[in-house]
């Protein structure tokens, strides 16, 4: 009996990590790259505004609406759908419904069919890269970059579909109209344009997932899920109290951010004032020392102080001033002044390197745009474009690392 109990406990502890991993794998996320986005979990009755760079967990049935920005939906299996142009999207378990806007889908192969529904029809894929562009009248253009996409009209009386391979596109102008033949386009060139457009340099910043966030009209359970809206006997909902609580929370966050910004501004102002005061004191002291030394030379009485008598250079005078306790700067020594000078030279060298990287990146981007404009579909020419784009990405990574290093050095200079 004891052996069975031990085996049962062992099985439970072995299963728990896998259960947590499976639960994590079944989550959907939305990353608001830029601009303003809104999220609704109540079929559009209430909306939550998402900040730029904010990542939130979403669930099937949620509605996402963009206002001039762009974002990305990530599915549990790693498939992604990038949206822009004021897209309004409803999330399904394995697919989306679109009313308007643009979507570029990169779908990983799996046993399930990914579906994008739009006013005049739908697309069905197993694993491919394609995009969908819907105007305000519902007219839709579908392009396939790789793989195969099956396009169907919404009100087709028969199960007719148009199969699009890589480099094929079609246009739906009504719910019952499906073209007989697809159009052709340069899919390699267009894919290179999309990769360049959605490069990481367009992402301003990314924050960690905000846990525990919920919409007005929703109460969060202890398990982390969402409970339905509770109505009282009189018919009034709990939305008002929850909404008021959310507004108070937003006001507190806004007030705290304002006070933090004011505090940082005061600290920067005080740091600048201290630096200016130290520079002024150093200049005045150097002038006094030089004047005293000149008078001693004219009187024929050289100073016995080796620091002053050795040289009249500004560097030696500043070293003596920095190490002088008389001027209230006892924490500085000659060694620390030398270290500061070395750091200043390192900072200027880094800035020069950053300028060279930026010039190289701009030059490569101009070359890439010129090559894309030539509309040459030769494989060797397309490989040249891809290699140039890879070099740009590597240089951009070097630029980000160097920029972070220079910012860190600048912050340390302000603190000192």
Tokens of 29: 């996320």
Any domain includes 8:
no
pLDDT above 70: residue 246: no
Any domain includes 239:
no
Listed residues 186, 203, 222: the one ending a domain = 186
206 contacts 53 by C-beta, under 8 angstroms? yes
Return the pLDDT at 168: 94
Q: How far is CA 204 from CA 38, 78, 172, 357, in A?
A: 18, 22, 35, 19
pLDDT above 90: residue 65: yes
Tell whether 172 and 300 lie within a shared domain: no
Any domain includes 172:
yes
Q: Which domain holds residue 57?
A: 23-186
Any domain includes 302:
yes
284-311 CB burial, b ≥16 within 10 A, e <16: ebbeebeeebeeeeeeeeeeeeeebeee
Residue with tokens 């201290």: 274
Task: Pick the more confident residue, 221 or 111.
Answer: 111
Average pLDDT over every residue of 241-265 = 60
Tell whether 46 and 169 lie within a shared domain: yes
Listed residues 133, 164, 186: the one ending a domain = 186
Tell whether 172 and 308 lie within a shared domain: no
State the DSSP H helix or E strand holding residue 50, giving kind and residue range, or none if neither. Answer: strand 48-50
Q: Which of 120-129, 148-157, 253-262, 382-391 has the lowest mean pLDDT?
A: 253-262
**Average pLDDT of the residues of the chain:** 74
For the chain, what is the domain count? 2
Any domain includes 4:
no
Task: Pick the more confident residue, 74 or 283.
Answer: 74
Residue 113: partners with Cβ closer than 8 Å, 6 or more residues away: 94, 124, 125, 126
Tokens of 314: 């500004």
Q: Following DSSP, what letter does each residue of 225-290 receive, concatenated?
A: -EEPPPB-TTS-BTHHHHHHHHHHHHHHHHHHHHHHHHHHHHHHHHHHHHHHHHHHHHHHHHHHHH
For 176-206, write each residue's pLDDT tens digit. 878 888 999 998 888 888 888 887 554 544 4
Task: Pick the more confident residue, 220 or 381.
Answer: 381
Tell whether 39 and 177 lie within a shared domain: yes
Any domain includes 28:
yes
Q: Which of 5-19, 218-232, 309-323, 327-341 has the lowest mean pLDDT?
A: 218-232
Any domain includes 340:
yes
Percent of the chain with pLDDT over 70: 62
Task: Pick the more confident residue, 228 or 51.
Answer: 51
Return the pLDDT at 98: 93
Tokens of 191: 């894919």
Tell whether 174 and 34 lie within a shared domain: yes
Task: Pick the more confident residue, 386 or 24.
Answer: 386
Any domain includes 2:
no
Listed residues 133, 156, 186: the one ending a domain = 186
Distance (Å, whole) CA 30 – CA 38: 11
- Assign residue 47 the CATH number of its domain: 2.60.120.1440
pLDDT above 70: residue 15: no
Average pLDDT over every residue of 286-314 = 54
Task: Pick the more confident residue, 65 or 230.
Answer: 65
pLDDT above 80: residue 358: yes
Q: Which of 9-18, 25-34, 280-289 has the lowest mean pLDDT?
A: 9-18
């Amino acid at each position: 009996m004891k052996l069975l109990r031990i085996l049962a406990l062992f099985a439970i502890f072995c299963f728990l990590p896998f259960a947590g991993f499976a639960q994590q794998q079944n989550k959907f996320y939305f990353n608001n790259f830029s601009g303003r986005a809104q999220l609704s979990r109540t079929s559009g009755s209430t909306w939550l505004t998402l900040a730029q760079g904010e990542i939130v967990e979403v669930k099937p049935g949620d509605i996402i609406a963009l206002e001039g920005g762009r974002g990305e939906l990530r599915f549990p299996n790693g498939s992604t759908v990038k949206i822009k142009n004021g897209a309004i999207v409803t999330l399904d378990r394995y697919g989306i419904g679109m009313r308007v806007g643009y979507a570029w889908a990169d779908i990983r192969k799996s046993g399930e069919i990914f579906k994008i529904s739009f006013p005049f029809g739908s697309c069905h894929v197993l694993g491919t890269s394609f995009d969908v562009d819907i105007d305000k009248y519902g007219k839709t253009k579908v392009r396939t970059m790789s793989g195969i996409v099956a396009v169907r009209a919404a009100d087709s009386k028969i199960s007719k579909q148009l199969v699009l391979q890589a480099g094929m596109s079609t246009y739906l102008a009504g719910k019952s109209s499906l073209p007989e033949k697809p159009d052709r386009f340069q899919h390699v060139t267009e894919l290179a344009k999309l990769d360049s457009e959605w490069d990481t340099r367009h992402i301003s910043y990314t924050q960690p997932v905000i846990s525990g966030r919920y919409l007005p009209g929703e109460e969060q359970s202890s398990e982390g899920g969402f409970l339905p809206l509770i109505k009282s006997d009189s018919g009034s909902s709990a939305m008002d109290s929850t909404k008021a609580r959310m507004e108070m929370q937003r006001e507190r966050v806004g007030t705290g951010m304002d006070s933090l910004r004011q505090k940082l501004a005061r600290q920067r102002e005080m740091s600048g004032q201290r630096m200016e005061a130290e520079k002024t004191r150093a200049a005045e002291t150097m002038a006094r020392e030089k004047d005293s030394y000149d008078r001693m030379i004219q009187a024929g009485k050289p100073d016995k102080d080796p620091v002053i008598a050795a040289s009249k250079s500004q560097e030696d005078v500043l070293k003596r001033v920095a190490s002088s306790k008389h001027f209230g700067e006892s924490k500085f020594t000659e060694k620390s002044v030398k270290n500061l000078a070395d750091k200043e030279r390192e900072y200027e060298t880094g800035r020069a390197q950053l300028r060279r990287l930026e010039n190289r990146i701009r030059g490569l981007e101009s070359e890439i745009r010129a090559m894309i404009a030539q509309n040459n579909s030769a494989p060797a020419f397309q490989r040249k474009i891809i290699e140039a784009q890879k070099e740009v990405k590597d240089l951009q990574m070097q630029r980000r690392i160097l920029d972070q290093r220079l910012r860190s050095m600048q912050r340390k200079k302000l603190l000192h």
